[in-house]
Amino acid sequence: MTLFEIMDILDAKCLVGRKQLNMEVETAFSADLLSDVLAFAKAGSLLLTGLTNPQIVRTASILDIAAIILVRGKIAPDETLRMADELEIPMLSTRYILFETSGRLFMNGIKGCVERVGSDTYVTL
Amino acid sequence: MNLSYENSFEIQGGNFKKAGDISVQIKKVLQNLGVPRAILRRVAIAVYESEINIISYANKGIIHIQVSPETVSIEAEDEGPGIENIELAMRAGYSTATDKIREMGFGAGMGIPNIINCSDTFNITSEVNKGTHLTMIIQLTNNQEEKN
């Protein structure tokens, strides 16, 4: 599915990356906790989050996240937008809540980048 | 592939605004060196988690990275409070993060477990009121692409 189609499904606006809206994505990860994004999100996925600080962009860049979708109508501060522009990570904003955003994408064929975490995910001593 | 690179980066503790800056830089350099994508991602995560840790907890620190044709070695050494109970720190979900750290979206207690997941070899030593020293080695040859 292209970011264009996703914008349509989510009635979203494009904050950064108008030229990259033909990008295809198939998977997503939703979280408001960057620690978990870093531990579980896969390369090439969408990141759905309500966080707006510059760390979401740096985290996305480190993980090769395809694009970021801000939920609950969030608009990121200029500093974050500048960084997304610089690191070429498209950023959309939707007014749907995280649950609705995830659900609507899922209904349209976007899958979780991991279905559930493995029992060996955690290092236990 | 003829890979060779070595550099050190100083990190100021408490500089939350810059958190991740150095990791993004290092990733770019390694990408230009031709480090394969899957490995690059594991290196970048290990460096990023280390950088966030230093900024979050230490007074200052250094991340040293060395790339050879066979391995990427990362050393993260800081001057700070150290870790009282390393076993606990290695357990997923255990955290001593402050509100400031959590506000940024970190501090879920996944940092060190995630570093371990990304590394082929991992070592940690720490001394209370002195600092912490992480060593992470990621193999470039016969790489474990399925990892992470």
Looking at chain B, which residue has its C-alpha nearest residue A42?
B148
pLDDT of A6 reads: 98
**Which residues on chain A are in Cβ contact (under 8 Å) with B106?**
34-35, 55
Cα separation, A101 vs B13, whole angstroms: 36
Q: For the residues B103-121, what does the mean pLDDT come to?
A: 91
Q: Which of residues 96-115 of B touch A (CB under 8 A)?
A: 104-114
What percent of chain B is modeled with pLDDT above 70? 94
pLDDT of B1 reads: 57
CATH number at residue A16: 3.40.1390.20
Q: Tally the domains of chain A.
A: 1
Is B24–A121 a contact, with Cβ atoms under 8 angstroms apart?
no
Q: Is residue A87 part of a domain?
A: yes
B37 has a pLDDT exceeding 70:
yes
Q: Phi and psi for A96 in degrees, rounded to 5?
A: -70, 150
User: pLDDT of A60-111, one tens digit each?
Assistant: 999 999 999 999 999 999 999 999 999 999 999 999 999 999 999 999 999 9
Structural domains in chain B, sorted by start: 5-139 (3.30.565.10)
Cα separation, B141 vs B143, whole angstroms: 5
Q: For the residues A7-24, what does the mean pLDDT come to?
A: 98
State the ipTM, two decimals.
0.86
Looking at chain A, which residue has its C-alpha nearest residue B27?
A62
Domain containing residue A83: 3-111
pLDDT of B141 reads: 84
In B58-96, where does DSSP find H-type helix?
Answer: 86-89
Number of A–B residue contacts, CB under 8 Å: 81
What one-character DSSP code corresponds to residue B92? Answer: T
pLDDT of A120 reads: 58
